[in-house]
Amino acid sequence: MPVTTESMAAWCRKLLGADAPRLMLEEYMNAIPRMECLGNLPRGTTVLVRGDVDAKPGPTVGEGDIRLRSMKETLRFGQERGWKQIVFGHIGREPEKSLAKVAARLGEILGCPVTFVEDWLDPTTTTVKDDAVEAIRKCPEGGVVMLQNTRKYPVERVLWKAKLADIDKLAPDLAKLANEMATKVAKVYIHEAFSAGSLDASSVVAPAAMEKVALGKYEAEQFDGHLKECLRAQMVIFSGLKIDKLDDLEAMIGRGKVRKIIAAGSLAAALKKAAAELEGKKFDLGLSEDPAHKDKSYYIPAERVEQAKRMLAAGKAKGIEFVLPVDFVLGDGSVSSEIGPGNQQFDVGPASSALYEKAVSDFIAAHKSDQPPAVVFHNGVFGMFEDARFEQGTRKFIAQLKRMTDAGIKVYVGGGEGGTALEKYGKPDWVTYCFTAGGTVLNALGSEPVPYLVAMQMAAKAMGPKPHA
């Protein structure tokens, strides 16, 4: 069914959080069809697959292509049924990056050629080009076509920083894109890009014009299985440079399952200052609270400290234990119990690592016999671990993940830098599961919905009262 400018404007307003209530993860998952619902599509059906193609393939299969390999089962499902699958998505944030090597690697993984279409959209008219239409027409049953980097085209990126006031201006081009994809590429859409958590038009606009939508097999496995387990985590380890992670932690606290929080990084700094002020004391965050640094990623505004105070008060009322650092490694390599004016923390100190180890020991003692097993969620790193001078806090804690796993506790790592640290200092079997997309995991567990789940839920609703049939 063609999308009008008006309906696209309403669609985008809901994507930005207006005119629609926030659903729980389970509600999104209950509303969106799975791949099996498409099993009876006839051979030769063209299916548009929003793929997790943001990969950097190494010399051989298995190197730098974990996201591509996560798509294999979904694409095999379509190949076995003779569908023509058109894979599209982005690589990096730069429009000039190419998916040519990614297409070649996907062909190696699938054991078949993957046709690559270099230039498929006219950016001036937002129309799918005739050459792309012809390549799709020539695709054999069971064949796979990959379109060039979607971020090559400005329309893919217009919602990234869009405000509600911008929607009426953007809606005509976005409606045109959705209709072009439905009429010239495919009317069936599968989202199999777990890590694609941005407001890309390929993820959140294209589904609006589709007759059928479904989640890919890997994506459904992540949300239906591992992420649902993380929702019942009794302990979370949160760290990192981005202070907006406070929102995600606050949302997790609000669900009522968390009983212990180990914090580090900017998140812990805000909580540390908040705890001091609640006790009538002072704690100087150094450069992180200096207004001259307000344009820096490590800056912690006063309102975040106030938010941290609310979180500590709410946590105390619920019996939640906050384990905060007691010493810090500063820029000159010295260790101090304070940060102080002109200084900046780059890692937690040895006393903090010892405190964290005791907190883990206490948790193991209290939960090692739990049935079902207790759940722990770990996200982020404790300092600038890329620099050997500031890696000890992170290195020491990765070993604690193994201790908990060995004790029968389910340990989940939220991907991103935490996953990189696990790879650097540990082994995959030290944890129950490590996600491939940190941002998506935080959205699913935290304060903001995953944008593509919002779009897929709306698209499924438009399919009628029985979208799973």
Q: What is the 3-state secondary structure (H, E, C) of the chain?
A: CCCCHHHHHHHHHHHCCCCCCCCCHHHHHHHCCEHHHHCCCCCCCEEEEEECCCCCCCCCCCCCCHHHHHCHHHHHHHHHCCCEEEEECCCCCCCCCCCHHHHHHHHHHHCCCEEEECCCEECCCCEECHHHHHHHHHCCCCCEEEECCHHHCHHHCCCCCCCHHHHHHHHHHHHHHHHHHHHHCCCEEEEECCCCCCCCHHHHCHHHHCCEEEECHHHHHHHHHHHHHHCCCCEEEECCCCCCHHHHHHHHHHCCCCCEEEECHHHHHHHHHHHHHHCCCCCCCHHHHCHHHCCCCCCCCHHHHHHHHHHHHHHHHCCCEEECCCCEEECCCCEECCCCCCCCEEEECHHHHHHHHHHHHHHHHHHCCCCCCCEEEEECCCCCCCCHHHCHHHHHHHHHHHHHHHCCCEEEECCHHHHHHHHHHCCHHHCCEECCCHHHHHHHHCCCCCHHHHHHHHHHHHCCCCCCC
Cβ atoms < 10 Å from Cβ of 64: 16
Please give the structure tokens belonging to residue 146. 């990959």
The confidence score (pLDDT) of residue 449 equals 87
The one-digit pLDDT tens for each residue of the chain (469 residues) are 689 999 999 999 999 988 767 788 889 999 999 999 998 999 999 999 999 999 999 999 999 999 999 999 999 999 999 999 999 999 999 999 999 999 999 999 999 999 999 999 999 999 999 999 999 999 999 999 999 999 999 999 999 999 999 999 999 999 999 999 999 999 999 999 999 989 999 999 999 999 999 999 999 999 999 998 998 899 999 887 788 888 888 888 888 789 999 999 888 999 999 999 999 999 999 999 999 999 988 899 999 999 999 999 989 888 999 999 999 999 999 999 999 999 999 999 999 999 999 999 999 999 999 999 999 999 989 999 999 999 999 999 999 999 999 999 999 998 778 888 999 999 999 999 998 877 788 888 876 789 999 999 999 998 888 888 7
Which bin fits 16, alpha (ψ -120 to 50), beta or left (φ > 0)? alpha
Give the distance from CA 162 to its chain's centroid.
20
The confidence score (pLDDT) of residue 1 equals 66
The confidence score (pLDDT) of residue 28 equals 92
Burial class (CB in 10 A: 0-12, 13-18, 19+), 19: exposed
SS3 sequence of 87-154: EECCCCCCCCCCCHHHHHHHHHHHCCCEEEECCCEECCCCEECHHHHHHHHHCCCCCEEEECCHHHCH
Which bin fits 190, alpha (ψ -120 to 50), beta or left (φ > 0)? beta
d(CA 387, CA 394): 11
d(CA 453, CA 222): 13
What is the reported pTM?
A: 0.87
- Tens of pLDDT, residues 171-220: 999 999 999 999 999 999 999 999 998 999 999 999 999 999 999 999 99
What domains lie within the chain, and their CATH numbers? 5-220+449-462 (3.40.50.1260), 231-436 (3.40.50.1260)
**Which position has the token pair 């090597």?**
101
Task: List C-alpha distances in Å: 424 to 36, 73, 141, 391, 427.
Answer: 38, 28, 43, 11, 8
Q: Is 125 within 8 Å of 154 (Cβ atoms)?
A: no
Type of residue at 46: T
d(CA 345, CA 298): 10
Q: Is 76 within 8 Å of 111 (Cβ atoms)?
A: no
Task: List C-alpha distances in Å: 387 to 33, 234, 285, 394.
Answer: 45, 32, 22, 11
The confidence score (pLDDT) of residue 345 equals 94
Closest Cα partner for 263 from 139, 136, 382? 382
Sign of the CA dihedral 220, 221, 222, 224? positive
Closest Cα partner for 416 from 242, 229, 159, 157? 242
The confidence score (pLDDT) of residue 39 equals 87
